Structure 1
Amino acid sequence: MNRNLSLILLGAVALAACNKESHTIVGGETPDPMKEELAKAAPVELPPAIEASKTYRCKDNSLVRIDWLQGGKGAYLHGEGHDQTHLKAAEAAEGKPASTDLTAEGGFVLKGEAKASTVTLTVPGKGTQSCKG
C-alpha cells in the first residue's frame, strides 16, 4: 500500500513540475535564402537510362560488356584492361553527314546498335575487331 501511495505521490510531483505557460505555435513558410538563385538556374537534365546491357565475345576471345543508353545518347564500355569508357555519338564534320559511330577519347570506336547481335569495336592497343553478343 505504501508503495502505491509513493508512486501516486511521485506522479503528482512530476505533473506539478510541468511548465504551465501557454505556447504559441506560428505556422508558415520560412524564407529560403537561395530562392531567387534557384529560380534563375537552368533546368537539370537527368542522365539517360540504360536501354540494354549486353555482353559480347570479341574475335580475340576477350569479353566486353556494353551498356547501351536510351535515346541514342551513347554507351558505356566495360572490358578487361581498361576502365569504364563513355562512348558518345561523333560530331558531324562540316559538309559530311553525321556518323552513327560512337567514339571516346583515346581511340575507342563502336559501330553497331543495341538490337544488333554483332558490333565492331576498336580499342586502343587491340585494333578493330568484330564482337558477337
Structure 2
Amino acid sequence: MGLSEKRNRDVGIIEGLFIRKTLEDHAKTILEDTKRQMVGFTNRKWNKRGISVNDNTLVYSHISAFRFVDMKTVRAKSGYSIGSKKVRKGKIKKNFFPIHNTPIFSSKRFLIKRLSFGFTDEVKNSFEQLAKDSGLLNE
C-alpha cells in the first residue's frame, strides 16, 4: 500500500469516527427533545420509539401516530382558519403537540452545520488520537 492510499484510508477512518460521534450526539438530543415535549403522554404506546446509528446513517423509528399528533388542522369545516379560533358550535379544535417535526428538523439544521463546518483541524487531531488509541490507525 502506497503512502497516498494509506493517507486516504486514515482520513476516511477519522471522518467516519467524526460522523458517527456527531450522529450519536444528535440522536440523544432528538430523544431528549421529544421526551421533553411529551409531558402529558402517559400511555405506553408513545414510548415505542428509538434511534440507531449505523456507519453514517441515523434511523429514527416510531409509531405512525407520532406524525398525526404533530399535524395542525388547516381549516375547520365552518371555513374559518384555526388561527382565528372561530370554530362552529359543537366542533372541537384539534390540538397539536410538536413531538415529531420540531425536534427532527431543528436537530437536522444543526446536524448539517456541524457536519459541514465542524470538522476542523483541532477536531481532526482529537479523532486521530482516538483512532490511534483504539487501534484503528497504525502509527
Q: Which has the larger radius of gyration?
A: 1
Q: One fold, TM greater than 0.5? A: no
TM-score bin (small chain):
under 0.3
Return the structure number with greater relative CO, CA threshold 8 A, min gap 6. 2
More helix by share: 2
Structure 1-normalised TM-score? 0.21
More strand by share: 1
